[in-house]
Amino acid sequence: MSDKPSLASLALTFNHIALASFGGGLSAWSREVIVVEKRWMEDEEFLSAVTMSRILPGANQVNLAVFVGVKFRGVPGAVAAVFGLTFIPVLIVLALAYFYFQFHHIPAVKGILKGAAAAAVALTLSMVFKTGKKCLTGLIPVSLFATIFLMNGIARWPLLACLALLAPLAVAWAWPKKP
């Protein structure tokens, strides 16, 4: 693990994550930067942080930025990470929204959006494979993964209902056993 980053480093790193990724691929790019490049976390801790970020209210990446910022610099770190993650992207989205509503009728604009969506899916799948190798190492984790995927991803059950059913099983399985 790397040394404790400065507030500026947190802001710049999360700005880099935000500007170098597309949509749903943000988690994959976050892993690449935080785990591989910066070495601020190991895969297991990152996966736990992403999991918590996804089951808590709010935007997943904002939650992750808060988690990482608090880990290293407390509340000021969270503010720096969230600022880095959101400030320039908000300006870009405002500009793009203006141009989209001016030119959305042009077929090339639809093609650009489809290409960006494909990139986001590819980045997400990349993270699934990279983190899956570390945490899906037995029958129980694979079964839990498959069940939640079927319930939420295929059957489209609400995430909270899926978690209410499967979280107790996961906790019971992971709970330390008496020697």
Residue 178 resides in a domain: yes
Give CA separation, 26 vs 39, 162, 171, in Å: 17, 23, 27
101 in the same domain as 23: yes
Query: Is residue 40 located within the same domain as residue 63?
Result: yes
Query: How many whole angstroms separate alpha carbon 178 and alpha carbon 130?
Result: 32
Same domain, 158 and 76: no
pLDDT per residue rounded down to tens, the chain (179 residues): 658 999 999 999 999 999 887 655 678 889 999 999 999 999 989 999 998 998 888 899 999 999 999 999 999 999 999 999 999 989 998 998 998 888 888 888 888 878 877 877 787 777 778 778 877 888 998 899 899 989 998 999 998 899 899 989 988 888 887 76
> Do residues 51 and 124 share a domain?
yes
Rounded CA gap, 28 and 117, in Å?
14
Name the residue range of residue 44's domain.
7-135
- Quote the longest CA-to-CA distance of the chain: 67
Q: Is residue 2 part of a domain?
A: no
User: Per the confidence metrics, is the pTM higher than 0.85?
Assistant: no
